[in-house]
């Protein structure tokens, strides 16, 4: 009987510690002390991170892509997620969010009410961003229009609709370490920041395990398309044999060396890179040539 009591006590202590370790972990206000956002550079961050690509209305074109009313659907093995309204509307969007609210969402996966956010928002990549870039992004987003379209609830069934489990997911898969570590050439190092953090290339191009975590040992080795239609290609040197110049050209023009053209969601990526300074694509190209080959 005494042994049973000790076992139960141990189980309770372990349960409490595990629960504590999986609680949302927002950053403190002091982390942002002294930061002032630059909306000019924030526009580049906005493009590199692909905010409009996911949060514009389905089928939006031209300037309408800056109306971040949400609604695009993203199927997964756990249900269908719908991009929320992140326009400057204070009720339906994020118009009354503080910089701290935005930083906690994109870097910690924590909502304004202190809840875990689903990793459909790629905070597993954004968590490597520099806080100054988040401040600049916030300043630029403040210049964008408001829209009162309500966000559509995610279509996620039990048990995946229990957000408390996301604390365990973060404990297993959230890391701020670079996947391709070590010292790289300066261009590739800048490309690593763009590709692994801002552009979150690994979120689509890396296979995932049964719990939805990226298989870092097969970084950028390609993955099934979550829509069920085709696959997302391997972009490591094991399969991507293009030169740095050809990769950079593809990222900005959408044309392959064989004169094929980009399609699907990658078309949004190309559209964004085409509006950025040329060194963004050149740095990503240098990084991709430095990525370890993976099958």
Confidence band for 264, pLDDT divided at 50, 70 and 90: confident
- One DSSP character per residue, 80-122 reads EEEPPP-SS-TTTSSTT--HHHHHIIIII-B-TTSPBPPTTS-
Instruction: Tell me what the pLDDT averaged over the chain comes to.
Output: 91
Confidence band for 162, pLDDT divided at 50, 70 and 90: confident
Residue 16: the pLDDT is: 46
- Taking the C-alpha atoms of residue 89 and residue 93, their distance in angstroms, rounded to an integer, is 5
Write out the two tokens for 242.
């293009």
pTM, full prediction? 0.91
Write out the residue limits of the CATH 1.10.760 domain(s) in the chain: 186-290
Task: Say which residue the tokens 């085709």 belong to.
Answer: 230
Residue 1: the pLDDT is: 67
Confidence band for 265, pLDDT divided at 50, 70 and 90: confident
For the domain made up of 186-290, the CATH class stated in words is mainly alpha
Confidence band for 149, pLDDT divided at 50, 70 and 90: very high
């Amino acid at each position: 009987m005494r042994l049973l009591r000790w076992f139960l006590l141990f189980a309770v202590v372990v349960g409490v510690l595990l629960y504590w370790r999986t609680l949302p972990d927002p950053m403190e206000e002091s982390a942002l002390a002294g930061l002032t956002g630059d909306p000019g550079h924030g526009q580049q961050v906005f493009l590199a991170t692909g905010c409009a690509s996911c949060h514009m209305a389905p089928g939006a074109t031209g300037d309408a892509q800056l109306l971040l009313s949400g609604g695009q659907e993203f199927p997964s093995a756990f249900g269908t997620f719908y991009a929320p309204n992140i326009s400057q509307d204070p009720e339906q969007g994020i118009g009354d969010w503080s910089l701290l609210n935005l930083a906690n969402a994109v870097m910690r996966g924590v909502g304004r009410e202190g809840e875990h956010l689903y990793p459909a928002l790629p905070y597993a990549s954004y968590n490597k961003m520099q806080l100054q870039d988040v401040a600049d992004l916030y300043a630029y987003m403040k210049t964008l229009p408001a829209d009162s379209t309500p966000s559509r609830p995610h279509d996620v069934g039990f048990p995946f609709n229990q957000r408390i489990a996301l604390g365990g997911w973060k404990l297993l898969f959230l890391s701020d370490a670079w996947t391709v570590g070590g010292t790289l050439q300066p261009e590739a190092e800048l490309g690593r920041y763009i590709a692994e953090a801002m552009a979150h290339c690994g979120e689509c191009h890396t296979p995932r395990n049964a719990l939805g975590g990226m298989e870092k040992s097969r970084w950028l080795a390609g993955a099934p398309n979550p829509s069920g239609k085709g696959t997302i290609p391997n972009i490591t040197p094991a399969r991507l044999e293009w030169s740095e110049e050809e990769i950079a050209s593809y990222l900005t023009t959408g044309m392959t060396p064989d004169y094929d053209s980009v399609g699907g969601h990658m078309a949004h990526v190309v559209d964004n890179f085409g509006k950025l300074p040329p060194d963004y694509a050149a740095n990503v190209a240098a990084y991709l040539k430095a990525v370890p080959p993976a099958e």
